[in-house]
Amino acid sequence: MKKIKRLLSILLALIMLATLFVSNVSVSASEFYFDDGIFSYRIYKGKAQIADIISNIKIINIPDTVIHNGVTYPVTNLSVEMEGYSNFDFGGTVETINVGKNIEWMDFNYSDEQLSSDYYYFTLKTINIPSGSKLNYLDLNLNCQNLENINIAPDSVLKHLYLSDCPKLRKLTLPKSLKHCSFGDVPDLRLKIAKDNKYLKVKNNQILSKDGKILYDVVGWNFDVKVCKTVREIYSDFGNSCITKLTLGKNISKLKRYSLDETSFAHDRNVKIILKNKKKVPKIQDDAFYNSKKIKFYVQNKKVAKELKKKLKGSGIKKAKILVGKKVVYKNING
């Protein structure tokens, strides 16, 4: 009886080891790479992701599907951050990207180390997002010096759009589906947004919540910004990088963390912030002015000046001044 139990135990252990081995093999087999002469693909969980462009072509037509060994895979992702494919550079020739209908995610968000080398897509001029596209996330956090057009179909389901360093992009219409967006160093961009967008609206090139109470971003190089009167809160991603004068209306009640940090203002220039409220100062979250320098606050009276000085503690601001009229009331304020 003991021998039978021992044999059963050994058999059970062998079965468990075999199961584990087969499981590991199937996991490994579920992920592999291949190329078709134009793209290098990563196949994972039954979907194809473009990991690199290996052909020197001007126009990229991202396919809806790709066939490998008789199996058809939907092409759902194009990303430069995939492990093992750090040399993703469009071959240095691509001018146009036509997005496939199954693409859900496109990400060109580089690390600082990558950006310090040759990761600059000077040739890219146009991105076309067609009708029926499933694309919901597009991140172009790179240096697209010649990008002129992002054509988004009216029925787009795009929800997230992030752009940076696109000096030739001058016009863009945001779709009704868009929920989140950010634009850095796009100096001449003028925005429009679908009227039936339920989440956002654009006024004076300021991206606002639909009810107008939250300011998300100021687009383009605006040196003198008067925040819309309806705004009560400035969001964390707000940033323009060249503001020298900012007027905060009477309704502003909150400045969120990093909302007016050093990336919001012109570097190495004096910045003037005018607070219009005569009775109180907005709530200032920690690091709201993180590492911001050469700031002069202009307030309506000494009472507001005193309250502002108190609320700037923990804000991250460096050597600020508070003035009532032309008179400096407090100076060398560090938060």
The string of DSSP letters for 180-195 reads EEEEES-TT-EEEE-T
Q: What is the pLDDT of residue 53?
A: 80
E strands, 96-193, in order: 96-98, 105-107, 126-129, 137-141, 149-152, 160-164, 171-174, 180-184, 190-193
Provide Rg for the chain, Cα atoms: 26
pLDDT of residue 110: 55
Q: Hey, what are 158's tokens?
A: 């795009």
pLDDT lower than 50: segments of the chain: 1-28, 82-87, 111-119
Residue 102: how many CA atoms within 13 Å on its side-chain side?
15
pLDDT at position 27: 38
Q: For the whole prediction, is pTM greater than 0.85? A: no
Q: Which residue has the tokens 């000096």?
A: 167
Q: CA 176 to CA 162: how far, in whole Å?
A: 16
Residue 16 is predicted with a pLDDT of 41
